[in-house]
Amino acid sequence: MKALFHDPKSELGTWLQDLQLGLDNLRVHKLRSMLTMLGMIFGVAAVVAMLSIGAGAQQQVMAFIEQLGVRNVIVEARETIDPQAFQKVRAASPGLTFQDFRVIRATLEGVSAATPRKRFAPSKMLPKPQRDMPTVYGVTPSYIPIGNLRIASGRFFDEGENERAAPVAVLGEGAKAGLFGPEEAIGQYVKVNEQWLHVIGVAGPQLSAHSEAVGVPEQDRNNLIYVPLSTAMLRLEDNYSQFRDEIDGIYLQLEPGMDSVASAEVIRGVLNASHRNTPDFSVIVPAALLAEQRRTQGVFEVVMVALASISLLVGGIGIMNIMLASILERTREIGVRRALGARRRDIVRQFLIETVLISFVGGTIGVIAGVGISRIIGLFAGWSTIVTASSILLAFLVSVSIGLIFGLYPARRAAGLDPIEALRYE
């Protein structure tokens, strides 16, 4: 037996023997081992679940921002239907106008596509929508590349139809489903307020913002009806036209290589001059939003891991306490091993293997539980969750590391026992 601990050729056999001894000890005390693992299980499950929820939410927001176009700059009017607030704004600013659009186009360099937008919510519609009332977007054909719009069937209106204010419409995916259900929409007619519109196309699905956190008004971008800008201005009646700006949005797409942040500053300067520094508009730069969102994601992940690691820390303390108690129970065993020639490092290795086994098994169960929790949350809460390999690896490595760190002190204490006193221990 003495040669077993000192022959270098049998080092692997020693590790395997200690591993088997550790597994046997954990099986003998099943309940205690499971209770010791609980801290690791909850901690790892919390890390995996939190990171998956955070990654899902962040990816959804970033995908929406990317859909807005990293080369785009968007101007949104800040309108109000409150008469007093409206009169106060109009005393200083004419609101967003076609003149603003023309001046921006003339001033700003490197614009590859641009369109004004006139948006309003109809008061009535035929067929009657099965869901929420769609919103009407009056835009020019340039909106297709700017809005990353994909036509699922039919076509988009052309410049000629825009110039003559043709009564045509392209339905968003949600608007089509709400108005016509599974029936074919191309060739049908939709009555918006008092105007009949011929449906010539259906747009593909679009991501929507569920809050104004990214600087874009909350809106279902699938429940839209696109019409030529001139059609919206000349044929469709806006119920709150007396409180509306001439146009309520401007979309600009820059040529590759242009600085969208610098371009946004030029736009702000032009609008501040014409609006007399009235804050009745906002300039949205998706590229800047995307960069900020990525920074926020990094901070969020660090905070989530730090919070969830508290559970792992508690689990590590629990492992240390159990292992210290285990030393008292196994004092005679330690004394026998030392008397048979085991060195201090052999005792340290034995106890470290047991703590790492507890962390390893607890971490494995925790990863499975964390993945399950994230799936359940995604299913019932409707949240987007993404379980990444990096989150699993991070949680697993942290749990094993904590097992090593908190198992080292009990292992060194066990190795420091006097063999003679250990053999006498009752």
Q: How many CB atoms lie within 10 A of CB 196?
A: 12
Q: Between residues 357 and 282, which one has the greater pLDDT?
A: 282
Mean pLDDT of 318-332: 71
Q: For residues 398 and 343, state if they share a domain.
A: yes
178 vs 139, 150, 157, 173, CA distance in Å?
22, 19, 21, 9
| Nearest-angstrom CA–CA distance, 282 and 268 | 8
The domain boundary residue, chosen from 233, 262, 286? 286
Q: For residues 153 and 191, state if they share a domain.
A: yes
Q: For residues 49 and 168, state if they share a domain.
A: no
Distance of CA 139 to the CA centre of its chain: 30
Mean pLDDT of 317-346: 71
Question: How many structural domains are present in the chain?
Answer: 2
| Res 5 pLDDT > 50 | no
**Which DSSP string corresponds to 23-82?**
HHHHHHTHHHHHHHHHHHHHHHHHHHHHHHHHHHHHHHHHHHHHHH-TTEEEEEE-----
**What's the pLDDT at 417?**
64
| Res 166 pLDDT > 90 | yes
Q: For residues 127 and 231, state if they share a domain.
A: yes
| Res 130 pLDDT > 50 | yes
CB 108 within 8 A of CB 90: no
The alpha-helical segments, DSSP class H, found in 257-383 are 260-274, 286-329, 331-339, 344-381
Q: Which of 49-53, 93-97, 220-224, 416-420 has the lowest mean pLDDT?
A: 416-420
Q: Can you tell me which residue has the tokens 């097992």? A: 403
Q: What percent of the chain has pLDDT over 90?
A: 21
**What's the pLDDT at 420?**
60
CB 249 within 8 A of CB 75: yes
**What's the pLDDT at 61?**
67
Q: For residues 277 and 316, state if they share a domain.
A: no
| Res 214 pLDDT > 60 | no
Q: For residues 35 and 81, state if they share a domain.
A: no
| Res 76 pLDDT > 80 | yes
The domain boundary residue, chosen from 264, 286, 308? 286
Q: How many CB atoms lie within 10 A of CB 298?
A: 10
**What's the pLDDT at 62?**
65
CB 96 within 8 A of CB 281: yes
**What's the pLDDT at 7?**
52
Q: For residues 36 and 75, state if they share a domain.
A: no
Mean pLDDT of 11-27: 67
| Dihedral of alpha carbons 393, 399, 405, 411, sign | negative
Q: For residues 319 and 248, state if they share a domain.
A: no
The domain boundary residue, chosen from 286, 307, 325? 286
**What's the pLDDT at 1?**
39
User: Domain limits at 116?
Assistant: 71-286
CB 407 within 8 A of CB 354: yes
Output the six-digit token pair for 237.
Answer: 């009646």
| Res 233 pLDDT > 50 | yes
Q: For residues 100 and 177, state if they share a domain.
A: yes
| Average pLDDT across the chain, whole number | 79
**What's the pLDDT at 43?**
78
Mean pLDDT of 334-348: 70
| Nearest-angstrom CA–CA distance, 61 and 65 | 6
Q: For residues 145 and 269, state if they share a domain.
A: yes
CB 402 within 8 A of CB 359: yes
Identify residue 263 by its one-letter amino acid code. Answer: S
DSSP-derived 3-state class of residue 10: helix
Q: Which of 79-83, 119-123, 244-248, 336-340 has the lowest mean pLDDT?
A: 336-340
CB 284 within 8 A of CB 74: yes
Q: Between residues 44 and 138, which one has the greater pLDDT?
A: 138
Whole-model pTM?
Answer: 0.64
Q: pLDDT (tens digit, 9 = 90+) per residue, 347-390?
A: 777 777 777 788 888 888 888 888 888 888 877 766 677 777 77
Reference 354, options 37, 26, 11; nearest CA is: 26
Mean pLDDT of 244-250: 83
| Res 168 pLDDT > 90 | yes
Q: How many CB atoms lie within 10 A of CB 239?
A: 14
| Res 308 pLDDT > 70 | no
Query: If you compute the radius of gyration of the chain from its CA atoms, what whole number of angstroms results?
Result: 33
| Res 239 pLDDT > 70 | no
| Res 299 pLDDT > 60 | yes
CB 226 within 8 A of CB 203: yes
Residue 320: pLDDT band by 50, 70, 90 thresholds? confident
Output the six-digit token pair for 281.
Answer: 């508009």
Q: For residues 114 and 252, state if they share a domain.
A: yes
Reference 245, options 87, 79, 392; nearest CA is: 79
Mean pLDDT of 151-168: 93
Reference 197, options 135, 125, 131; nearest CA is: 125
Mean pLDDT of 197-222: 73
Q: For residues 116 and 228, state if they share a domain.
A: yes
Identify residue 71 by its one-letter amino acid code. Answer: R
Residue 66: pLDDT band by 50, 70, 90 thresholds? low
**What's the pLDDT at 3?**
42
